[in-house]
Structure 1
Amino acid sequence: MRAIILAAGLGLRLQQPPQAQFPKCLLQFDGMSLLERHLQMLENAGVTDVVLALGFQPESVQAELERINWPHKVETALNTRYDLGSVLTVHTVAEALTRGGDVLLMDADVLYDERILNALVAGETVNRLLIDRDFEAGDEPVKLCLKDDVPVELRKQLAVNLEYDTIGESVGFFRFRQETAQRFAEIVAGYVESGRANMPHEEAVRDLLLERSQVFHTADVTGAPWIEIDFPNDVVRASTEILPQLQPLVSASR
């Protein structure tokens, strides 16, 4: 199993002055960066094949990798047009997507409990989505809608006539079987070739779900603490609400 961590973005919505901006995977909570937490939890889950998609300030992330001194090789890929959408970042790591075996596609800017990752990696080869039914309504969360356990929508904005029996927020992690990852890479390539490289990669995942060529299972992680960090108040919530609920992690460099 391979983990691809998307860490290319600018993080503009954190509203930092230009001279103070840095990749969100370097945000620290309790003295540990989000990147180090990702790597430690992946190792605890038995996943040591990791590809890191970089863009903004790659040298800062490389320096953090050296500081962490993770005992496994971390492959990196660079999206020089990180100012565009995450579809292009995913396209940058297309070879890692299609190399074989199950693939975990993970956003780097998430602080999360080990139960989240354990639900993602459990069992034999499978396509898996994660859903949290306890979410705040609004335009920001990416909603995952199911009907009879089948995904029928993955978007921030839902059509008024959409029929579903389950709705929740999609955690920013996906698991693809080998053939599914191949098809996903093809869809992403189509976005880039048709001038839609500025789109979020969730749109390509949505296309994959709605074409129904692959069967997806959904793991319900409602109750497990996690937060995607986009805005300044997310950093505060991560520190005051989410972090105290997490089990302490041993640094990978110790």
Structure 2
Amino acid sequence: MRAIILAAGMGLRLVQPEGQQKPKCLLRFGDASLLERHLQLLKTAGVDEMVFVLGFKHEQVEAELASIDWKPATEVVVNSEFSLGSVLSVHTAAEALTRGGDVLLMDADVLYDERILEPLVANAHAHVNRLLIDRDFEAGDEPVKLCIDNGVPVELRKQVAAGLKFDTIGESVGFFRFDEHAAKRLAEIVANYVATGRANLPHEEAVRDLLQERSHVFDIADVTGAPWIEIDFQNDVTRAADEVLPQLNQLAGALR
């Protein structure tokens, strides 16, 4: 199984001192950066093939990877037009997306518990497509909502259309698992986005298109209760340090 980790963005909504901006995956919580936490959690989960899609100040991330001296070495691809949307980052990683086997597609700016990964990597040889949902989420325009009707995902967007029929709604964690057929189809959809001038869009739009084609069956894993947070704004950094990290430390201590 291969993990493709999207870490190209500039993080413009996160206030950092002028001249000291750095990729969000280098933010440190406790004694490790988000980058190193990804590596450790993925390795523990049995995923040792990792591809980082970098862009903004990619040299800093590559230096961090070199300092960690991770084995086996991680693969790096660079999206030179990182100021555009994450669709372009997924397109930049098209070769890794389509080289075969199941693929995890993950945002880099997430602090999370290992229980978030467990359902994604379960049955590693089963070749499945899987989405994660957290039913305990804050309403508003920011969370990407995942709507499910009778076990079938029917929407993946920040704005849910009025009148849409669904029986379950929650926040998408931003981590996806695709089997090789769905991964190849996603690569085709993303390539079409780029070819038609839609490279500025978030990659969730392309995933949404894949879901709505209904040509691939998707499982839904409910991770409600497992601590995690996506780092978009300064208050997310505060919540990550003050609320989520202590939960992760407590859980880690309980497992020792």
Regarding TM over 0.5, the answer is yes
Cα separation, partners in 2 of 1:193 and 1:249, compared to 1, 3 Å: farther
Structure 1 residue 247: deviation in Å? 4.3
Q: TM-score, normalised by structure 1?
A: 0.96
- What are the residue-to-residue correspondences of 1:101-120 with 2, within 5 Å? 101-120=101-120
Structure 1 residue 13: deviation in Å? 0.4
Structure 1 residue aligned with 2:16 = 16
Q: Where in structure 1 do 4 or more consecutive aligned residues deviate above 4 Å? A: 247-250
Structure 2 residue aligned with 1:190 = 192
Which shifted more, 67-76 or 46-55? Answer: 67-76
Report percent identity of matched pairs.
70
Structure 2 residue aligned with 1:83 = 83
Residue pair 1:9, 1:55 contacting (<8 A) in 2 also: yes
Structure 1 residue 248: deviation in Å? 7.6
SS, match of residue 39 in structure 2: helix
SS, match of residue 53 in structure 1: strand
CA distance in 2, matches of 1:225, 1:249: 10
Q: Which runs of 5+ in 2 are unaligned?
A: none
Instruction: Determine which of 136, 153, 160 is the counterpart of 2:155.
Output: 153
SS, match of residue 218 in structure 1: strand
CA distance in 1, matches of 2:194, 2:148: 28
CA distance in 1, matches of 2:49, 2:136: 32
> Pairwise CA RMSD of aligned residues?
1.2
Which shifted more, 122-131 or 142-151? Answer: 122-131
Q: Over residues 176-209 of structure 1, what are the superposed CA-to-partner deviations in whole Å (9 max), with x where a residue is unaligned?
A: 0000000000000000000000000000000000
Q: Over residues 202-232 of structure 1, what are the superposed CA-to-partner deviations in whole Å (9 max), with x where a residue is unaligned?
A: 0000000001010000000000000000000
Structure 1 residue 16: deviation in Å? 2.0
Q: 2:64 aligned with 1:72, yes or no? A: no
AA aligned opposite 2:25: C
Structure 2 residue aligned with 1:177 = 179
Question: How many residues in Structure 1 have an aligned counterpart in Structure 2?
Answer: 250
Q: Over residues 103-142 of structure 1, what are the superposed CA-to-partner deviations in whole Å (9 max), with x where a residue is unaligned?
A: 0000000000000011111112210000000000000000
Q: Which runs of 5+ in 1 are unaligned?
A: none
Q: TM-score, normalised by structure 2?
A: 0.96
Structure 1 residue 154: deviation in Å? 0.2
Structure 2 residue aligned with 1:47 = 47
